[in-house]
């Protein structure tokens, strides 16, 4: 059970195991990988020059939304696997890290040291590169040394946490002499981490300097880690719905709520987005305007945050898209995922074709050849008064998500704008609402009430 120590203006209060709830949120800076502040140390941040890179990463991430890789697990062998049949059904990571698009400063250990982790709503495990590392990639901060932290503790292979992570091949655990819990966690872009589970004290430091210490957080101590998209980071902060994610481990401490407000990262700016655990400090007028849609269950892919689309509109007109293209079928395919780690918004091919056709009818500007994989592009050089059709999505609960035009019509070359959407060719694919469409919205994941909230906001002003 975690214990919590909060420090504000030299006043300290200790809370045990989330029994007391902290409603006031703690905001953390969220830095996009293309930002001038990114640990990947870019020397420029120009939208046309970075878009191609982001779309390539999207392709890798979306490849992971195939259930064949989600339901293949490696059970633990030995005494503990044989005496607990439910523990045998440990699944593979089901993770689609892919792009590693947002970084957050994360403080671990006693004394606390800073590590830059990829914040990812599409995976669960928290892990960090550890000494002695047999295979590690380059990172921005020093590696984590377990022996340098007085609050470090390894997790036994007999502990319940051990049955929540994928086991390496030929893994076993003795009931008489249990060893540390070994894991192997693979992402569908080819990245991976292997090591052992441990627990540690985490210190969250807000953008205003407030400090909150949380003990007994389970994480992966990665000894063999690889993947191009991981470079620059110290590891990953999983925020999915699985039991080992950071959001799940915090539990009721913050009312099971986290949120973010994403700035327009395609602009050359040092503005940062915010990731907030607990109630975000937003105006009462914004809070009153938040709309909520239910989070849907998919038992085949429990990590992801699914919402239900009822229909899509263009200029207020409902497009004739069959409802089955929005639904999760009996095998777990389809549905719609809200994802902070995917750039564009993706629709299943049949739905996408109807959306593109509607945009073609509504936009009278001259069309140009596809650019950077985007199918529908327009020459805007001769038209200073561009009339952009209004795109909106009606979600379950009859709430309307209506993003501004700059979220779905983006610059891709000089005097050229393209629709920031693509089709998913695979019949097994899901629809995905990506981070471009979510920019300048306060997006709230209310896990205890199984709902997703959103409201239009100026995210630059809150950073």
Q: Which residues are catalytic?
A: 120, 339
Beta strand ranges found along 206-319 (DSSP E):
211-226, 235-238, 257-261, 273-277, 291-294, 306-307, 309-314, 317-318
Contacts of 360 (CB under 8 A, 6+ apart): 367, 376
Beta strand ranges found along 126-210 (DSSP E):
126-129, 153-154, 172-173, 182-186, 192-205
Q: Which two tokens stand for residue 348?
A: 């299943």
Q: How far apart, in whole angstroms, are the C-alpha atoms of residue 171 and residue 109?
A: 28
Q: How far apart, in whole angstroms, are the C-alpha atoms of residue 262 and residue 371?
A: 25
Q: How far apart, in whole angstroms, are the C-alpha atoms of residue 189 and residue 169?
A: 20
Of 99, 61, 83, the C-alpha closest to 163 is 83
Contact 31, 45 (CB under 8 A): no
365 CB-contact burial (10 Å; exposed 0-12 / middle 13-18 / buried 19+): middle
**HSE-up of 193 (CA within 13 Å, CB side)?**
29
Q: How far apart, in whole angstroms, are the C-alpha atoms of residue 289 and residue 314?
A: 23
Specify which residues 395 forms β-bridges with: 309, 399
Phi/psi at 156 (5° precision): -70, 150
Local structure of 257: helix, strand or coil: strand
147 CB-contact burial (10 Å; exposed 0-12 / middle 13-18 / buried 19+): exposed
Local structure of 226: helix, strand or coil: strand
- Helix and strand tally (H, E) in the chain? 6, 31
Contact 270, 36 (CB under 8 A): yes
- Distances from the Cα of 360 to the Cα of 150, 164, 354, 356, 402, angstroms: 62, 48, 10, 6, 19
Q: How far apart, in whole angstroms, are the C-alpha atoms of residue 279 and residue 445?
A: 11
Local structure of 141: helix, strand or coil: coil
Q: Which helix (H) or strand (E) holds 263?
A: none
Q: Which two tokens stand for residue 427?
A: 């019949």
Contact 463, 273 (CB under 8 A): yes
């Amino acid at each position: 059970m975690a214990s919590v120590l909060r420090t504000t203006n030299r006043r300290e209060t200790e809370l045990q195991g989330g029994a007391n709830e902290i409603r006031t949120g703690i905001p953390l800076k969220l830095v996009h990988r293309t930002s001038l502040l990114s640990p990947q140390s870019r020397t420029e941040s120009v939208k046309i020059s970075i878009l191609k890179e982001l779309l390539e990463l999207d392709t890798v991430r979306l490849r992971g939304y195939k259930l064949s890789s989600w339901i293949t697990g490696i059970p633990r062998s030995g005494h503990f696997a044989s005496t607990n049949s439910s523990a045998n059904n440990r699944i593979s990571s089901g993770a689609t890290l892919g792009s590693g698009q947002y970084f957050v400063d994360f403080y671990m250990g006693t004394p606390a040291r800073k590590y830059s982790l990829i914040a990812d709503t599409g995976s669960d495990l928290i892990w960090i590169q550890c000494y002695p590392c047999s295979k590690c990639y380059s990172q921005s901060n020093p590696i984590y040394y377990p022996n340098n932290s007085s609050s470090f503790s390894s997790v036994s292979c007999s502990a319940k946490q051990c049955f929540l992570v994928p086991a390496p091949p030929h893994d076993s655990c003795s009931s008489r002499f249990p060893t540390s819990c070994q894991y192997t966690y693979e992402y569908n872009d080819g990245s991976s981490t292997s090591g052992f589970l441990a627990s540690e004290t985490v210190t969250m430091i807000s953008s205003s300097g407030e400090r909150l210490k949380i003990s007994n957080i389970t994480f992966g101590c990665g000894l063999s880690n690889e993947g191009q998209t991981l470079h620059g980071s110290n590891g990953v902060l999983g925020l999915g719905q699985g039991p080992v994610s950071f959001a799940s481990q915090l539990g009721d401490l913050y009312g099971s709520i986290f949120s973010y407000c994403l700035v327009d990262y395609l602009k050359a700016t040092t503005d940062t987005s915010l990731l907030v655990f607990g109630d975000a400090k937003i105006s009462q007028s914004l809070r009153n305007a938040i709309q909520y849609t239910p989070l849907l269950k998919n038992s085949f892919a429990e990590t992801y945050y699914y919402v239900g689309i009822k229909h899509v509109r263009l200029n207020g007109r409902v497009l004739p898209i069959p409802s089955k293209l929005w639904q999760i079928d009996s095998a777990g395919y389809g549905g719609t995922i809200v994802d902070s780690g995917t750039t564009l918004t993706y629709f299943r091919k049949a739905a996408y074709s109807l959306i593109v056709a509607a945009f073609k009818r509504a936009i009278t500007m001259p069309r140009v050849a596809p650019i950077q994989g985007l199918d529908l592009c327009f020459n805007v050089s001769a038209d200073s008064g561009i009339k952009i059709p209004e795109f909106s999505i009606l979600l379950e609960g009859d709430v309307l998500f209506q993003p501004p035009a700059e979220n779905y019509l983006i610059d891709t070359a000089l005097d050229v704008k393209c629709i920031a959407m693509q089709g998913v060719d695979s019949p097994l694919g899901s629809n995905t609402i990506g981070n471009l469409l979510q920019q300048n919205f306060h997006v709230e994941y209310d896990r205890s009430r199984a709902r997703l909230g959103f409201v239009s906001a100026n995210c630059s002003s809150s950073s």
